[in-house]
Amino acid sequence: MIRVALPYHLRNLAKVGPEVELEIAGPITQRTVLDTLEARYPMLRGLIRDYATGRRRPFLRFYACEEDYSNADPDDPLPAAVAEGREPYLVIGAIAGG
Amino acid sequence: MSRVRVLVGTKKGAFILTSDGKRASWTVEGPHFAGFEIYHMKGSPLNPDRLYASQTSSWFGQIMQRSDDAGKTWEPVGNEFAYDGDPGLHLWYDGSQKPWKFTRVWHVEPSLDDAETVYAGIEDAALFVSKDGGKSWQEMTGLRTNTNTEKWQPGAGGMGVHTILIDPTRHERMYVAISAAGVFRSDDGGKTWAVKTKGLKSAYELPDPKSEVGHCVHRIAMNAKAPNVLYMQKHWDVLRSDDAGENWHDVGGNLPSDFGFPIDVHAHDPKTVYVVPIKSDSEHFPPEGKLRVYRSKSGGDEWEALTKGLPQSDCYVNILRDAMAVDTLDSCGVYFGTTGGQVYGSPDGGDSWSPLVRDLPGVLSVEVQTLS
């Protein structure tokens, strides 16, 4: 079971709590996690990754196990703690304001 | 009894204001989509409970929302706006060419023929249509392939299709306006388009002031009773066309400034038109700090200031291009929203004004539904 934590606005849009749990068969990578997330919650498509490029939106970051995976290869395996459900995969909205 | 519903898009959510036909007291519902920019909301003329909203965010991109119960509940619908093929390049601020990129939906325009069909004007400028109530979107490619798109360039707010007009007497005739490209007309339901900028002059913005393409058109408007008469608020200049956009001429007349963003036409009198002059392109607030709507009853040239109920000192708000609308009650109501969060309304064609609500987030768009 993979745990994914979403930012406030995406939780509201998907009508979910602070974390969602996903069953993923096969390798646990950022791509498989996000593909599975979007398949289960289609309203999130295009909001985390740009439709045209497939890349992370600039004001979002991806964290796990106190590391920043935002610019990592999306097909690299995520840490075992994420794959085993001990730690969540975090989608974070950049801090901004004034 | 008639009712009026005002759809207000703001920088931090959507609000729905309702009143009976007297338009003396208003109920405010919202915010819907709190925290998000709502560039535009509009209802279907065929099914007034069917509303569409363009919800945008620098963080999350574009979300399209649809309601089938007049805004009580909403559901996200399709948000993929894929250009048909390689969209190529357009002019960038620095003179270079830049690839086209979808950023947001500026304007939604429900069809006059089919409640499931809705058009969307997007940035970077293109026109899309959905025929399934917003679930999926297809580009109407003629707008980009028929015209000199390599010369289109963004205004300061981006290169968006911000205005879509459908001739209510001849539905296959459509107009779009783009900043900064110009006005375009289709006579075949959007398959092919032609530039309609003859008569526009942009001495401060373009090296060739009479260039066919590149004018920063802020808004165009029409009245159903005279659909060949179009009014335009350009970056500078207020203009009129009497021949469906073939020729434009200046009707700014005695306005204190002919810079501004919105323009609209009285629901029943095609010669009565409204603008809100702004001091200049670099000072986006009313001249002298006085918020004045100007009305012409002669199709332009001769304008009168409408001030009753509007702040006449220390007012430094702006009124954006999609933030003015009219109702169709016998005594035409006129409405506009400000960047300061006020929504003003006049139930008597502009003679007197009062705030429907005062302290919303900055208003991006205002649309009105007249309900029986």
pLDDT of residue A15: 96
| CB-based contact, B282 to chain A, within 8 Å | no
Average pLDDT, chain A: 95
Residue B270 identity: P
At residue B151 the predicted structure's pLDDT band, cuts being 50, 70 and 90, is confident
Residue B211 has a CB neighbour count (10 Å cut-off) of 17
Distance of CA B295 to the CA centre of its chain: 18
pLDDT of residue A63: 97
At residue B17 the predicted structure's pLDDT band, cuts being 50, 70 and 90, is very high
Per-residue pLDDT tens for B51-95? 999 999 999 999 999 999 999 999 999 999 999 998 888 889 888
pLDDT of residue A98: 62
Percent of all residues in chain B with a pLDDT value above 70, rounded to a whole number: 100
Per-residue pLDDT, averaged over B122-136, amounts to 97
Nearest CA distance, B259 vs chain A (angstrom):
30
Question: Which of B35, B80, B101 minimises the CB distance to A9?
Answer: B35
The Cα-based distances of B191 to A16, B129, B139, B144, B281 in angstroms read: 42, 12, 10, 10, 34
pLDDT of residue B207: 86
Fold topology of B41-56+66-335: Methylamine Dehydrogenase; Chain H (2.130.10)
Does A97 have pLDDT greater than 80?
no
Per-residue pLDDT tens for B207-227? 899 999 999 999 999 999 999
Per-residue pLDDT tens for A40-77? 999 999 999 999 899 999 999 999 999 999 999 999 99
Per-residue pLDDT, averaged over A19-48, amounts to 97
| CB-based contact, B135 to chain A, within 8 Å | no
Question: Which of A10, A46, A59 minimises the CB distance to B62?
Answer: A46
The Cα-based distances of B81 to A37, B29, B77, B100, B193 in angstroms read: 21, 30, 12, 12, 20
Per-residue pLDDT, averaged over B287-314, amounts to 98
Per-residue pLDDT, averaged over B100-105, amounts to 95
Distance of CA A44 to the CA centre of its chain: 11
At residue B204 the predicted structure's pLDDT band, cuts being 50, 70 and 90, is confident
| CB-based contact, B57 to chain A, within 8 Å | yes
**pTM (2 decimals)?**
0.96
| CB-based contact, B35 to chain A, within 8 Å | yes
The Cα-based distances of B362 to B35, B162, B341 in angstroms read: 12, 18, 4
* Structural domains of chain A, ranges and CATH numbers in brackets: 2-93 (3.10.20.30)
Per-residue pLDDT, averaged over B104-115, amounts to 97
